[in-house]
A = this chain, B = another copy of it.
Amino acid sequence: MTALKSNGERLWQSLMAIGEIGHVDVKGSKVGGCHRLALSEKDLRGRQLFIDWCQTEGCTLRVDAIGNLFLRRPGRDNNLAPVVTGSHLDTQPTGGKFDGIYGVLSGLEAIRTLNEHKVETERPIEVAVWTNEEGARFKPAMLGSGVFAGVFTLEEALAQTDIDGITVAEALALSNYTTDSQTRTPIHRYFELHIEQGPVLEANKIDVGIVSGVLGMRWYRVHVSGQSCHAGPSPMEMRNDALVGSAKMISELTEMAAAGSASTRCTIGELDIPSASVNVSPGEVVFSLDLREASDDALEALEQKAKALIHALADARNLRVSIEQFWGLPASPFDADAIGEITAAAGECLAAEKSMTLVSGAGHDAVYINRIAPTAMIFVPSENGLSHNEKEYTAPEQLAKGCDLLLNTLLKAANS
């Protein structure tokens, strides 16, 4: 079977056209940034443009109760559960033109290519636009896919407010969508195409990544207590400095993670010294710890290792320490069959050395959909690993390769 080829030029034009809605001129950005917060007037305009494009291709629209859009290209047997692809159209306040949008428009490009080639599929194919993925306007992130997957109730999601006190329900009402009351419909397979948001593919000169899952993550607050003292009168050997102890912990925790597996992550992103003063050796330090691993077992083992390391360093320095977890998300290994279908399609449309398997460290709508349907993801490189950034960029020819793989994967799954 010869692989179908999408139209990379058409995909790029669509991306740039929808990116005009909320476009921000940014020095040093190749195509400019995008400001299109979830369910804002701009987001609604972007969604409408997308709906129009899909309807031109003969797709039907369904909007569920949380505002997720489903654009359906019928199959030969419309009683079969659809193969779904998609992502989101909303952006961060200083976002780019690819994060989320690329996945949605590649679904459209796949449909356009199938129509052009008059290719029918057994199952219907749907492109989903999930509401408020970014979490920038309404908390939490991945709200629409979370409601669809039953992670949040519809009622709690509709009641979330933005910074001006406007609820999701009020913002949705402005859209004039004809919603149905359903919050979940059967899905045969869910595939999400996304820019990597990290440096791995670019560094390895790889065109597409087959994503084996999303890392589980746990966030902790580590409190380290010693005894503060004046910088002058206290000889070095008589100090009980919480920052010097914390520095050692930070060094050894990150070294431990670097010696771990390819999916081990350890990040200290916040560090606070209460009552800090230039001439006081700190008696108190609080830092955050973000641990990630590919499976919940591996994450648990990483946590135990990190805790043992922190306690051993504290004991050796006569410091007191407490470690408190304040957030977490289980690991989300993707479906083996779905991964297998992407891998098979990649074998047909790409040279073998141009793809690799990797994990996603960031969350995506696919994490929640993975709880209710066989799911996998495809990544393309993002320049300098940037995302949530107005300089976010992936070259048209790389976007086209990812789109080709999505197209052939959808085709394969929709005929299975």
Interface residues, chain A, with chain B CB atoms under 8 Å away? 196-200, 203, 215, 217, 219, 229-238, 241, 243-244, 246-248, 250-251, 254, 257-258, 260, 262, 264-271, 273, 276-282, 288, 290, 292, 360-363, 385, 387-388
Contact = CB atoms under 8 A, between A and B. Distances in A.
Contacts of A280: 267, 269
B362 A232 contact: yes
A292 B199 CA distance: 43
Given A230-B388, A269-B277, 20 more contacts: A197-B232, A198-B229, A199-B235, A217-B231, A217-B232, A230-B362, A231-B265, A231-B269, A234-B361, A236-B264, A236-B266, A241-B267, A243-B268, A243-B269, A244-B268, A247-B248, A251-B251, A269-B280, A270-B278, A278-B290
Contacts of A385: 229, 233-234, 238
A197 B273 CA distance: 22
A270 to B, nearest CB: 4
Contact of A237 (B219, B231, B258, B276): B258
Contacts of A292: 231-232
A233 B288 contact: no
A274 to B, nearest CB: 11
A320 to B, nearest CB: 16
A287 to B, nearest CB: 9
Contacts of A250: 243-244, 247
5 interchain residue pairs of minimum CB distance: A232-B361, A198-B233, A231-B267, A247-B250, A247-B247
A199 B230 CA distance: 10
A92 B310 CA distance: 36
A231 B276 contact: no
Of A235, A251, A282, A387, most B-chain CB atoms within 10 Å: A235
8 contacts: A231-B361, A236-B254, A243-B271, A247-B250, A267-B278, A267-B280, A270-B276, A270-B278
A231 B388 CA distance: 13
Nearest to A277: B269
A203 B251 contact: no
Contacts of A244: 250-251, 254, 268
A258 B234 contact: no
A280 B198 CA distance: 12
Contacts of A248: 247, 251
Nearest to A273: B271
A312 B219 CA distance: 32
Given A230-B361, A288-B278, A199 B238 contact: yes
